Structure 1
Amino acid sequence: MLPDLDSIALFVKAAELHSLTRAAQAQSMGLAAASRRITLLEHRLKCTLFDRSHKGVALTPAGKTLLHHAKQMLIQLNQMHADLEEHGPGRRRTVRVQANTSAMAQYLPADLADFNLNYPDIAITVKERWSQQIVEALLLGEADVGIINGGGSLDGLDCQPYRSDHLAVVMRPDHPLAKHQDLYFDQVLDYPLVGLEHGASLMDLLASQAGLAQKAFKLKVQVQGFEAVCRMIEAGMGIGVLPEHAALAYRYGMNLEIRMLRNEWAKRQMLVCTARGREKSEQSVRLVQALSQVIDAGP
């Protein structure tokens, strides 16, 4: 008997989270029921999929083999559902977009509004996520178009340039660095930092650059979202590094100072991406073309 799809989805989630408990919560089921499903799956496949310990679960060699096939199966299933939805009565194609925080806080809303003026019959859903989460969603067929920052793995994706942004230092007017007009990241590392939570591509970039500078990365507090970062800076919890145009939205309301980072890596290229090898709808193709053409207009 072939394993059921719910058990396959639970297995993939447990493998990604390294925890059956968290996977059960994500799938809205009890831990006991989830454990029975995995045990039955192992029985049907006649192999052990996880090594279990008090720290969680780790894939066995057999589990790693199954994970590859299971992800491909779920990708095909999601694509099948998406394709069949188009045959429902009165349905119009919806383009599922996932975008990182930098794009959402700066350029994407206005660019999508311009696209909507030209193509009012195309419906768009937009979800804000971290860049690595967007890559995974594209590969799993959970999104049609993704907006990410370059720097991570792009395997399995077709990518076009989108907008670019420039990182800046955000601080209170009374901070010692406010007297400088030009700043470099090694100067910033001398002070406590307010940053985004783990998983943000911006934080990965800053941590790697701190390592190259051979200086400590003094994260004092981590929060979710650019506004929360600025609120913490306003309260005196430290300084932060954010995309310039995103920080400008909070500059006057919170009485903040903004100084551009002069490091070459501080200018980042955004990308508009789709999954390679998967059939793309006409609506998705139009959106990708429209977004990739705005780069000539400048940030």
Structure 2
Amino acid sequence: MSKAPHTPPGSAARYIAKDEPGALRRLALDRIRFDLTSIRLFIATVEHGSISRAAGRQCLAVTAASRRIAELEAQFGVALFQRRPHGMVPTDAGRGLLAHARALMQSVERMHNDAVAHAQGHKGLARVAACTSAALQFLPADIRAHQEAFPDIDIETQEGTSYGVIKALVQGTAEVGIYEAGVSAPPATMRTRPYREDRLVLVTHRGHPLARRRQVGFDDILLCDLVGLNEDSALSMLLVRLAASRDGKLNVRVRARSFDTMLAMIQAELGVGLVPQGVARWLAVSKAFRQVEIAEPWARRQFVLCHRHAPDISSAALSVAEFLAESAQREPLPA
């Protein structure tokens, strides 16, 4: 004949009395004070069928382990075990709570793994601001490679001018920035590293006189009607500096906010335009366009990776910054 269920000591006994009115009571959550050691002990006692063996596995004295089990029973108001000659057997309530205890420990393990991932920069959200040229030519492939390596890091991108990128870094709306090296440098408190390089080409309509040329220089471009980007773009500022160095004047007929709009204007024969080679290969594919090499050093541009120093940057953002820097080192420079 089996023995009666082990009854929690003290006042807890009244919570399980079958003849007490309102046997199905709600126990206030603020009564729950157990810790993870007690939950592990409860699971181990079920698995080993012995509180002494469970106590040994948890490096607890048997008396301390018995007290922890009794405290669990008092807090929940139910007996968790039946005491038998050869060990401890869970009651129906004990078996029911066992599933919750195991689920709780699995949640704690996931919580711990997530915390470690955040600490190591393998989980979280990184905000990256990039100038349009870098965002179109390099960032998509780099983000894809990063997400394959770190699937638990989400990346929020912001596209704008190089000046806008530096502003976003200073204001804290972005943690990692990529901008064209010709613009003003960010504050000295931020870390900067080389990212990638590109080449500018001249895109013309196929009927334009320069379309038949293999190479052009800035003096050739200066004689043409131009389709440019907004005045605050790094590319527009480059043209202004080049014109000033030659005491020349730019004839910008139309300004556009994006490269695709610029190319639409060129296709309409409103002028010629400077476009990054990678963008031209992607967008200027119509037979209406011609791409002409610029045979001068200024046509090669350097992009810069910038971010705050730890601890003023999240571990996820720092992980992205390090990955982008390493990817740039592995990538061959454009021909």
Same-fold call, TM cutoff 0.5 = yes
Amino acid at match of 2:178: I
Identical residues among aligned pairs (%): 31
> Pick from 210, 227, 237: which aligns with 2:243?
210
Q: Name 1:297's counterpart in structure 2.
A: 331
Q: Do the aligned partners of 2:166 and 2:186 also contact (CA within 8 Å) in 1? A: no
Q: Distance in 2 between matches of 1:183 and 1:227?
A: 23
Residues 1:119 and 2:150 are matched in the alignment: yes
Q: Distance in 1 between matches of 2:310 and 2:325?
A: 19
Amino acid at match of 1:262: A
Amino acid at match of 1:252: V
Residues 1:265 and 2:289 are matched in the alignment: no
Amino acid at match of 1:124: I
Q: Name 1:191's counterpart in structure 2.
A: 224
Q: Name 1:133's counterpart in structure 2.
A: 164
> Pick from 174, 194, 217: which aligns with 1:161?
194
Q: Name 1:103's counterpart in structure 2.
A: 134
More displaced stretch, 108-117 vs 267-276: 267-276
> Pick from 259, 268, 271: which aligns with 1:235?
268
Q: Do the aligned partners of 1:171 and 1:257 also contact (CA within 8 Å) in 2? A: yes
Can you list the C-alpha shifts for 1:10-60, whole angstroms capped at 9, x where unaligned?
Answer: xxxxxxxxxxxxxxxxxxxxxxxxxxxxxxxxxxxxxxxxxxxxxxxxxxx
Tell me the TM-score normalized by structure 2.
0.60
Structure label with greater radius of gyration: 2
Amino acid at match of 1:290: F
5+ residue gaps, structure 2: 1-117
SS of the residue corresponding to residue 185 of structure 2 reads coil
The 3 A distance-change label for structure 1 pair 145 and 123 is same
CA shift for structure 1 position 289 = 1.4
Amino acid at match of 1:178: A
CA shift for structure 1 position 158 = 1.2
Q: Distance in 2 between matches of 1:128 and 1:118?
A: 23
> Pick from 278, 283, 290: which aligns with 2:316?
283
Can you list the C-alpha shifts for 1:160-216, whole angstroms capped at 9, x where unaligned?
Answer: 111100011000111111111111111011010000012111100111101112211
Q: How many residues align structurally?
A: 209
SS of the residue corresponding to residue 128 of structure 1 reads strand
CA shift for structure 1 position 133 = 1.1
Q: Cα RMSD between the aligned structures? A: 1.6
Q: Distance in 1 between matches of 2:287 and 2:263?
A: 8
Amino acid at match of 1:192: D
> Pick from 233, 250, 254: which aligns with 1:200?
233
CA shift for structure 1 position 252 = 2.2
Amino acid at match of 1:168: V
Residues 1:143 and 2:177 are matched in the alignment: no
SS of the residue corresponding to residue 136 of structure 1 reads helix
SS of the residue corresponding to residue 271 of structure 1 reads strand
Tell me the TM-score normalized by structure 1.
0.67
Q: Do the aligned partners of 1:115 and 1:287 also contact (CA within 8 Å) in 2? A: yes
Q: Do the aligned partners of 1:234 and 1:254 also contact (CA within 8 Å) in 2? A: no
CA shift for structure 1 position 97 = 0.7
Q: Distance in 2 between matches of 1:246 and 1:99?
A: 15
Q: Do the aligned partners of 1:147 and 1:273 also contact (CA within 8 Å) in 2? A: yes
Amino acid at match of 2:182: G
Q: Do the aligned partners of 1:170 and 1:258 also contact (CA within 8 Å) in 2? A: yes
CA shift for structure 1 position 253 = 2.8
Q: Distance in 2 between matches of 1:132 and 1:100?
A: 8
Q: Name 1:248's counterpart in structure 2.
A: 281
Amino acid at match of 2:216: L
Q: Distance in 1 between matches of 2:154 and 2:236?
A: 33
Q: Distance in 2 between matches of 1:227 and 1:155?
A: 29
